[in-house]
Amino acid sequence: MLKTVTELLPRQAVILELESRDKKEVIRELAAPLVQTGLVTNEEEFLTAILRRENLESTGVGLGVAIPHARTDSVTTTLLAFGRSGPGVDFSSLDGKLSHLIFLIAAPEAAKREYISTLAKLSSLMRRDEVRIGLNKAKNVDDVYAVLEQNDHS
């Protein structure tokens, strides 16, 4: 059974106001709490894997959303981080818009199925107006979880 989004998202990996404005720095900022969980075995390798994908792909999926992601053995399980940026961050979205809602996904190399399914579920969720509006309005971590739980039917 595929885990829900909130099951993959540690509470400390929800950042309601990202400080960074630059894509690489935002990825570092989102990765930091995941490293603290102890589920990232090699921080530099983890960041390199995420940034390598960024060089080949635009992980800005449009509608103000970006989902940087990677499969790497520097994580022991599939993990999510979520951050919100008021001013927005340039993730080279095809629609030309800055990203305000950013999810970072990392999964072990062997967990391809869960990785693809999580990416697909999150991408689908984030196309829904009510989810984006809810996440933009969330005042605290509980609100973020409530929006995701309400809309994630896996």
Query: Is the Cβ of residue 130 or residue 142 nearer to other proteins in the bound state?
Result: 130
Which of 89, 65, 68 minimizes the C-alpha distance to 79? 68
Give the end-to-end CA distance of the chain in Å, rounded to a whole number: 8
Minimum CB separation from other proteins for residue 148, in Å? 14
Rounded to the nearest 5 degrees, what angle is found at the Cα of 30, between the Cα atoms of 26 and 35?
135
Give whole-number Cα distances, 76 to 43, 50, 106, in Å: 12, 15, 9
- Total residues contacting other proteins by CB under 8 A comes to 18
* Binding-site string for other proteins from residue 97 to residue 136, where x marks contact by CB under 8 A and - marks none: ---------------x---xx-xxx-xx--xx--------
Binding site for other proteins (CB under 8 A): 53, 56-58, 61, 71, 94, 112, 116-117, 119-121, 123-124, 127-128, 153
